[in-house]
Amino acid sequence: MDARAKTGVSIRSATKRYGAVTALDDVSLDIAPGEFVSLLGPSGSGKTTLLGILGGFVQPSSGSVWVGERDITFAPPHKREIGIVFQNYALFPHMSVGENVAFSLRARREPKSTWAKRVADALAMVELKGYEDRGIHQLSGGQKQRVALARAIVFQPQLILMDEPLSALDKQLRETMQIELRRLHRQLGATIVNVTHDQREALTMSDRVAVLKDGRLVQIDTPERLYDRPCDAFVASFIGEATMLDVTRAGDDAVRLGDTILRTAHPLPRGEKLLLAVQTEKLVIDGDAGHANVNRLSCRVTEVLYQGESLRVFAALPDGTAISLRQPGSHEARKRIPAPGASMTVALDPQDTIVVSA
Protein backbone atom coordinates (compact mmCIF):
# COMPACT_ATOMS: atom_id res chain seq x y z
CA MET A 1 0.00 0.00 0.00
CA ASP A 2 2.89 2.42 0.68
CA ALA A 3 4.09 2.62 -2.92
CA ARG A 4 0.58 3.04 -4.24
CA ALA A 5 -0.29 5.74 -1.71
CA LYS A 6 2.68 7.83 -2.90
CA THR A 7 1.63 7.77 -6.57
CA GLY A 8 -0.04 10.80 -8.12
CA VAL A 9 -1.10 11.55 -11.69
CA SER A 10 -0.18 14.51 -13.89
CA ILE A 11 -1.96 15.21 -17.18
CA ARG A 12 -0.15 17.88 -19.16
CA SER A 13 -1.84 19.73 -22.04
CA ALA A 14 -3.65 16.61 -23.25
CA THR A 15 -5.38 17.09 -26.60
CA LYS A 16 -7.18 14.56 -28.77
CA ARG A 17 -8.38 15.29 -32.30
CA TYR A 18 -10.37 13.06 -34.61
CA GLY A 19 -9.93 14.80 -37.94
CA ALA A 20 -11.58 18.21 -37.63
CA VAL A 21 -13.23 17.29 -34.33
CA THR A 22 -11.41 18.14 -31.09
CA ALA A 23 -12.62 15.70 -28.41
CA LEU A 24 -10.20 16.97 -25.77
CA ASP A 25 -8.69 20.44 -25.85
CA ASP A 26 -5.47 21.23 -23.95
CA VAL A 27 -6.48 19.70 -20.59
CA SER A 28 -3.99 19.86 -17.71
CA LEU A 29 -4.78 18.24 -14.39
CA ASP A 30 -2.76 17.18 -11.35
CA ILE A 31 -4.18 14.47 -9.10
CA ALA A 32 -2.61 14.08 -5.68
CA PRO A 33 -1.45 10.69 -4.40
CA GLY A 34 -4.37 8.80 -2.88
CA GLU A 35 -6.94 11.30 -4.17
CA PHE A 36 -10.39 10.39 -5.49
CA VAL A 37 -11.21 12.61 -8.48
CA SER A 38 -14.38 12.39 -10.58
CA LEU A 39 -14.56 13.61 -14.17
CA LEU A 40 -18.02 15.11 -14.58
CA GLY A 41 -19.75 16.50 -17.62
CA PRO A 42 -22.51 16.01 -20.17
CA SER A 43 -22.23 13.68 -23.17
CA GLY A 44 -19.49 14.86 -25.50
CA SER A 45 -17.64 16.80 -22.81
CA GLY A 46 -14.41 14.77 -23.19
CA LYS A 47 -14.47 12.91 -19.87
CA THR A 48 -14.44 9.41 -21.42
CA THR A 49 -11.70 10.45 -23.86
CA LEU A 50 -9.59 11.67 -20.94
CA LEU A 51 -10.13 8.40 -19.08
CA GLY A 52 -9.16 6.50 -22.23
CA ILE A 53 -5.91 8.47 -22.45
CA LEU A 54 -5.18 7.62 -18.81
CA GLY A 55 -5.89 3.94 -19.43
CA GLY A 56 -3.90 3.71 -22.68
CA PHE A 57 -6.92 2.94 -24.86
CA VAL A 58 -6.71 6.35 -26.56
CA GLN A 59 -3.47 7.98 -27.69
CA PRO A 60 -3.39 11.78 -27.32
CA SER A 61 -2.71 13.96 -30.34
CA SER A 62 -0.44 16.01 -28.08
CA GLY A 63 0.39 16.33 -24.41
CA SER A 64 1.62 13.78 -21.88
CA VAL A 65 0.49 11.64 -18.96
CA TRP A 66 2.65 10.89 -15.92
CA VAL A 67 2.01 8.46 -13.07
CA GLY A 68 4.46 9.32 -10.33
CA GLU A 69 7.81 9.87 -12.05
CA ARG A 70 6.91 7.66 -15.02
CA ASP A 71 5.80 8.96 -18.43
CA ILE A 72 3.09 6.54 -19.58
CA THR A 73 1.76 8.62 -22.49
CA PHE A 74 2.33 5.91 -25.08
CA ALA A 75 2.67 2.86 -22.84
CA PRO A 76 0.23 0.03 -23.72
CA PRO A 77 -2.59 -0.60 -21.21
CA HIS A 78 -1.07 -3.82 -19.83
CA LYS A 79 2.18 -2.01 -19.02
CA ARG A 80 0.54 0.72 -16.95
CA GLU A 81 -0.30 -1.26 -13.78
CA ILE A 82 -3.72 0.36 -13.70
CA GLY A 83 -6.87 -1.26 -12.34
CA ILE A 84 -9.99 -0.61 -14.43
CA VAL A 85 -13.68 -1.00 -13.57
CA PHE A 86 -15.84 -0.87 -16.69
CA GLN A 87 -19.41 0.35 -16.99
CA ASN A 88 -20.75 -3.12 -17.82
CA TYR A 89 -18.30 -4.86 -15.39
CA ALA A 90 -16.82 -7.00 -18.27
CA LEU A 91 -16.93 -10.19 -16.19
CA PHE A 92 -16.44 -13.61 -17.79
CA PRO A 93 -19.74 -15.52 -17.41
CA HIS A 94 -18.11 -18.96 -17.83
CA MET A 95 -15.71 -18.32 -14.93
CA SER A 96 -16.41 -18.42 -11.20
CA VAL A 97 -16.10 -15.34 -9.03
CA GLY A 98 -12.65 -16.43 -7.87
CA GLU A 99 -11.47 -17.11 -11.42
CA ASN A 100 -12.67 -13.70 -12.56
CA VAL A 101 -10.77 -11.96 -9.79
CA ALA A 102 -7.66 -14.09 -10.39
CA PHE A 103 -7.68 -13.19 -14.08
CA SER A 104 -5.74 -9.99 -13.32
CA LEU A 105 -3.05 -12.04 -11.59
CA ARG A 106 -2.91 -14.61 -14.40
CA ALA A 107 -2.58 -11.87 -17.04
CA ARG A 108 0.38 -10.44 -15.13
CA ARG A 109 1.92 -13.90 -14.62
CA GLU A 110 1.95 -13.56 -10.87
CA PRO A 111 3.03 -16.74 -9.02
CA LYS A 112 0.05 -19.09 -8.94
CA SER A 113 0.83 -20.00 -5.34
CA THR A 114 -0.20 -16.47 -4.29
CA TRP A 115 -3.53 -16.39 -6.14
CA ALA A 116 -5.80 -17.94 -3.53
CA LYS A 117 -4.81 -15.62 -0.69
CA ARG A 118 -4.81 -12.49 -2.83
CA VAL A 119 -8.22 -13.31 -4.30
CA ALA A 120 -9.61 -14.03 -0.82
CA ASP A 121 -8.20 -10.74 0.49
CA ALA A 122 -9.64 -8.75 -2.42
CA LEU A 123 -13.10 -10.34 -2.03
CA ALA A 124 -13.04 -9.72 1.72
CA MET A 125 -12.26 -6.06 1.05
CA VAL A 126 -15.41 -5.70 -1.09
CA GLU A 127 -17.42 -7.72 1.45
CA LEU A 128 -17.75 -10.88 -0.66
CA LYS A 129 -15.77 -13.23 1.56
CA GLY A 130 -16.37 -16.87 0.64
CA TYR A 131 -17.83 -16.14 -2.82
CA GLU A 132 -14.90 -17.67 -4.73
CA ASP A 133 -16.88 -20.63 -6.11
CA ARG A 134 -20.08 -18.75 -7.00
CA GLY A 135 -21.08 -18.42 -10.64
CA ILE A 136 -21.44 -14.94 -12.12
CA HIS A 137 -25.06 -15.75 -13.02
CA GLN A 138 -25.80 -16.27 -9.32
CA LEU A 139 -24.90 -12.69 -8.41
CA SER A 140 -27.00 -9.55 -8.13
CA GLY A 141 -26.02 -6.37 -9.95
CA GLY A 142 -24.40 -4.96 -6.83
CA GLN A 143 -22.41 -8.15 -6.26
CA LYS A 144 -21.18 -8.17 -9.87
CA GLN A 145 -19.99 -4.62 -9.39
CA ARG A 146 -18.07 -5.68 -6.28
CA VAL A 147 -16.45 -8.56 -8.17
CA ALA A 148 -15.33 -6.11 -10.86
CA LEU A 149 -13.84 -3.94 -8.13
CA ALA A 150 -12.07 -6.92 -6.55
CA ARG A 151 -10.54 -7.82 -9.92
CA ALA A 152 -9.32 -4.22 -10.29
CA ILE A 153 -7.62 -4.09 -6.87
CA VAL A 154 -6.33 -7.67 -6.48
CA PHE A 155 -2.91 -6.86 -7.98
CA GLN A 156 -2.55 -3.68 -5.88
CA PRO A 157 -2.46 -1.15 -8.74
CA GLN A 158 -1.02 2.32 -8.32
CA LEU A 159 -4.03 3.86 -10.07
CA ILE A 160 -7.67 2.76 -10.43
CA LEU A 161 -9.88 4.03 -13.25
CA MET A 162 -13.66 3.68 -13.09
CA ASP A 163 -15.92 4.26 -16.08
CA GLU A 164 -19.48 4.94 -14.83
CA PRO A 165 -19.28 1.87 -12.54
CA LEU A 166 -22.68 2.47 -10.90
CA SER A 167 -24.79 3.43 -13.91
CA ALA A 168 -26.32 -0.05 -14.34
CA LEU A 169 -27.62 -0.19 -10.76
CA ASP A 170 -31.01 0.97 -9.52
CA LYS A 171 -31.23 4.22 -7.57
CA GLN A 172 -31.22 2.78 -4.04
CA LEU A 173 -28.35 0.37 -4.71
CA ARG A 174 -26.41 3.06 -6.55
CA GLU A 175 -26.58 5.36 -3.54
CA THR A 176 -25.53 2.52 -1.21
CA MET A 177 -22.57 1.67 -3.44
CA GLN A 178 -21.46 5.31 -3.49
CA ILE A 179 -20.90 5.09 0.25
CA GLU A 180 -19.23 1.68 -0.13
CA LEU A 181 -16.82 2.98 -2.76
CA ARG A 182 -15.96 5.91 -0.53
CA ARG A 183 -15.21 3.48 2.32
CA LEU A 184 -13.14 1.25 0.03
CA HIS A 185 -11.12 4.21 -1.18
CA ARG A 186 -10.21 5.17 2.38
CA GLN A 187 -9.23 1.57 3.06
CA LEU A 188 -7.09 1.21 -0.07
CA GLY A 189 -5.42 4.60 -0.06
CA ALA A 190 -5.21 4.32 -3.86
CA THR A 191 -5.48 7.09 -6.42
CA ILE A 192 -8.86 6.80 -8.16
CA VAL A 193 -10.21 8.57 -11.25
CA ASN A 194 -13.92 8.09 -11.83
CA VAL A 195 -16.02 9.11 -14.84
CA THR A 196 -19.66 9.96 -14.22
CA HIS A 197 -22.48 12.11 -15.58
CA ASP A 198 -24.29 11.97 -12.23
CA GLN A 199 -23.71 15.16 -10.23
CA ARG A 200 -24.85 13.69 -6.91
CA GLU A 201 -22.56 10.69 -7.36
CA ALA A 202 -19.58 12.94 -8.08
CA LEU A 203 -20.25 15.16 -5.06
CA THR A 204 -20.79 12.17 -2.75
CA MET A 205 -17.71 10.13 -3.61
CA SER A 206 -14.99 12.56 -4.61
CA ASP A 207 -12.25 14.55 -2.92
CA ARG A 208 -12.37 16.83 -5.95
CA VAL A 209 -14.56 17.03 -9.04
CA ALA A 210 -13.33 18.09 -12.49
CA VAL A 211 -16.11 19.55 -14.65
CA LEU A 212 -15.58 19.30 -18.40
CA LYS A 213 -17.49 20.92 -21.27
CA ASP A 214 -16.79 20.69 -25.00
CA GLY A 215 -13.44 19.02 -24.39
CA ARG A 216 -12.15 21.63 -21.98
CA LEU A 217 -11.65 21.61 -18.22
CA VAL A 218 -13.98 24.28 -16.83
CA GLN A 219 -13.41 23.94 -13.07
CA ILE A 220 -11.87 21.49 -10.63
CA ASP A 221 -12.59 21.89 -6.95
CA THR A 222 -13.83 20.20 -3.80
CA PRO A 223 -17.53 19.25 -3.88
CA GLU A 224 -18.34 22.03 -1.39
CA ARG A 225 -16.58 24.79 -3.33
CA LEU A 226 -17.83 23.52 -6.66
CA TYR A 227 -21.40 23.69 -5.39
CA ASP A 228 -21.11 26.93 -3.40
CA ARG A 229 -18.68 28.82 -5.67
CA PRO A 230 -19.24 27.77 -9.32
CA CYS A 231 -16.88 29.59 -11.66
CA ASP A 232 -19.44 30.28 -14.40
CA ALA A 233 -23.02 29.84 -15.53
CA PHE A 234 -22.42 26.37 -16.98
CA VAL A 235 -21.10 24.93 -13.72
CA ALA A 236 -23.79 26.68 -11.69
CA SER A 237 -26.58 25.25 -13.86
CA PHE A 238 -25.01 21.79 -14.25
CA ILE A 239 -24.35 21.13 -10.56
CA GLY A 240 -27.54 20.57 -8.57
CA GLU A 241 -30.81 22.38 -9.25
CA ALA A 242 -30.43 26.07 -10.02
CA THR A 243 -32.57 28.67 -11.73
CA MET A 244 -30.49 31.21 -13.64
CA LEU A 245 -31.86 34.77 -13.47
CA ASP A 246 -30.58 37.89 -15.22
CA VAL A 247 -29.37 40.54 -12.75
CA THR A 248 -27.50 43.82 -12.99
CA ARG A 249 -24.67 45.17 -10.87
CA ALA A 250 -25.81 47.39 -7.98
CA GLY A 251 -22.52 48.08 -6.20
CA ASP A 252 -19.47 46.10 -5.15
CA ASP A 253 -21.44 43.43 -3.27
CA ALA A 254 -25.00 43.66 -4.59
CA VAL A 255 -27.10 42.99 -7.67
CA ARG A 256 -30.55 44.10 -8.78
CA LEU A 257 -33.26 41.58 -9.63
CA GLY A 258 -36.26 43.52 -10.90
CA ASP A 259 -36.99 46.08 -8.19
CA THR A 260 -35.14 44.11 -5.48
CA ILE A 261 -31.54 44.61 -4.35
CA LEU A 262 -29.77 41.39 -3.31
CA ARG A 263 -26.50 41.42 -1.39
CA THR A 264 -23.86 38.74 -1.83
CA ALA A 265 -21.02 37.76 0.50
CA HIS A 266 -18.80 36.89 -2.48
CA PRO A 267 -16.91 39.13 -4.91
CA LEU A 268 -18.92 39.88 -8.03
CA PRO A 269 -17.43 38.49 -11.25
CA ARG A 270 -16.17 40.76 -13.97
CA GLY A 271 -18.25 41.55 -17.01
CA GLU A 272 -21.49 43.38 -17.64
CA LYS A 273 -23.82 40.40 -18.07
CA LEU A 274 -24.43 38.68 -14.73
CA LEU A 275 -26.62 35.79 -13.67
CA LEU A 276 -27.99 34.90 -10.24
CA ALA A 277 -27.85 31.13 -9.62
CA VAL A 278 -30.82 30.44 -7.36
CA GLN A 279 -30.29 26.96 -5.89
CA THR A 280 -33.55 25.31 -4.91
CA GLU A 281 -32.57 24.19 -1.42
CA LYS A 282 -30.99 27.53 -0.47
CA LEU A 283 -34.30 29.42 -0.56
CA VAL A 284 -36.22 29.38 2.74
CA ILE A 285 -39.93 30.10 3.07
CA ASP A 286 -40.53 33.25 5.18
CA GLY A 287 -36.89 33.22 6.24
CA ASP A 288 -35.95 34.40 9.72
CA ALA A 289 -38.18 37.34 10.65
CA GLY A 290 -35.62 38.46 13.25
CA HIS A 291 -32.68 38.41 10.84
CA ALA A 292 -32.25 41.71 9.03
CA ASN A 293 -29.34 40.62 6.85
CA VAL A 294 -31.00 38.06 4.59
CA ASN A 295 -32.25 38.84 1.09
CA ARG A 296 -36.00 38.54 0.63
CA LEU A 297 -38.12 37.99 -2.45
CA SER A 298 -41.90 38.23 -2.73
CA CYS A 299 -43.53 35.68 -5.01
CA ARG A 300 -46.71 33.73 -5.73
CA VAL A 301 -46.95 29.93 -5.47
CA THR A 302 -47.89 28.35 -8.79
CA GLU A 303 -47.48 24.61 -8.10
CA VAL A 304 -46.40 22.19 -5.38
CA LEU A 305 -45.06 18.75 -6.34
CA TYR A 306 -44.73 15.97 -3.75
CA GLN A 307 -41.55 13.95 -4.43
CA GLY A 308 -41.30 11.70 -1.40
CA GLU A 309 -38.46 12.94 0.79
CA SER A 310 -39.00 16.51 -0.42
CA LEU A 311 -41.45 18.86 -2.12
CA ARG A 312 -40.65 21.05 -5.11
CA VAL A 313 -42.40 24.40 -4.86
CA PHE A 314 -42.74 26.46 -8.04
CA ALA A 315 -43.39 30.18 -7.75
CA ALA A 316 -43.44 33.38 -9.80
CA LEU A 317 -41.83 36.72 -8.96
CA PRO A 318 -43.90 39.91 -9.46
CA ASP A 319 -42.64 40.28 -13.05
CA GLY A 320 -43.59 36.68 -13.85
CA THR A 321 -40.07 35.23 -13.59
CA ALA A 322 -40.26 31.59 -12.49
CA ILE A 323 -38.27 30.29 -9.52
CA SER A 324 -38.44 27.09 -7.50
CA LEU A 325 -37.39 25.85 -4.10
CA ARG A 326 -37.13 22.46 -2.46
CA GLN A 327 -38.57 21.87 1.00
CA PRO A 328 -38.37 18.84 3.33
CA GLY A 329 -41.13 16.28 2.97
CA SER A 330 -41.95 16.16 6.69
CA HIS A 331 -45.52 16.88 7.81
CA GLU A 332 -44.41 19.97 9.75
CA ALA A 333 -42.54 21.42 6.75
CA ARG A 334 -45.47 20.74 4.44
CA LYS A 335 -47.76 22.81 6.66
CA ARG A 336 -45.60 25.91 6.02
CA ILE A 337 -46.05 25.76 2.24
CA PRO A 338 -48.82 28.07 0.98
CA ALA A 339 -51.41 26.70 -1.44
CA PRO A 340 -51.05 27.43 -5.18
CA GLY A 341 -52.18 30.98 -5.90
CA ALA A 342 -51.13 32.31 -2.47
CA SER A 343 -48.38 34.83 -1.89
CA MET A 344 -45.24 34.10 0.12
CA THR A 345 -41.86 35.55 0.94
CA VAL A 346 -38.65 33.56 0.53
CA ALA A 347 -35.29 34.39 2.06
CA LEU A 348 -31.81 33.89 0.63
CA ASP A 349 -28.71 34.32 2.77
CA PRO A 350 -25.95 36.50 1.23
CA GLN A 351 -23.59 33.51 1.61
CA ASP A 352 -25.97 31.55 -0.64
CA THR A 353 -26.44 34.40 -3.13
CA ILE A 354 -24.31 33.13 -6.00
CA VAL A 355 -23.65 35.47 -8.92
CA VAL A 356 -21.76 34.26 -11.97
CA SER A 357 -20.72 35.73 -15.28
CA ALA A 358 -22.91 34.81 -18.23
Q: What is the pLDDT of residue 2?
A: 40
Q: What is the pLDDT of residue 289?
A: 52
What string of pLDDT tens digits covers the 358 residues of the chain?
Answer: 343 445 799 999 999 999 999 999 999 999 999 999 999 999 999 999 999 999 999 999 999 999 988 999 999 988 888 999 988 888 999 999 999 999 989 988 889 999 999 999 999 988 899 999 999 999 988 899 889 999 999 988 889 999 988 887 788 888 888 888 898 898 888 899 999 999 999 999 999 999 999 999 999 999 999 999 999 999 999 998 899 999 999 999 999 999 999 999 999 998 889 999 999 989 988 755 556 689 999 999 999 998 888 899 999 999 999 999 998 888 887 888 999 999 999 999 999 999 999 8
Please state, in angstroms and rounded to a whole number, the distance separating the CA atoms of residues 53 and 241.
Answer: 31
Distances (CA, A) of 50 to 210, 314, 332: 11, 39, 47
Within 10 Å of residue 71's Cβ, how many Cβ atoms? 13
Residue 136 sits at φ, ψ, to 5 deg, of -60, -35
Closest by Cα among 330, 328, 323 to 346: 323
CATH of the structural domain 2-227, one choice from 3.50.50.100, 1.10.3660.10, 3.40.50.360, 3.40.50.300:
3.40.50.300
Query: Which fold is adopted by the domain 241-357?
Result: OB fold (Dihydrolipoamide Acetyltransferase, E2P) (2.40.50)
- Tell me the HSE value of 192 on the side-chain side, using a 13 A CA sphere: 30
Q: Please determine whether the domains at 2-227 and 241-357 fall in the same fold group of CATH.
A: no
Q: Are 226 and 55 in contact (CB under 8 A)?
A: no
pTM reported for the whole predicted model: 0.88
Please state, in angstroms and rounded to a whole number, the distance separating the CA atoms of residues 3 and 144.
Answer: 28
Domain parsing of the chain, residue ranges: 2-227, 241-357
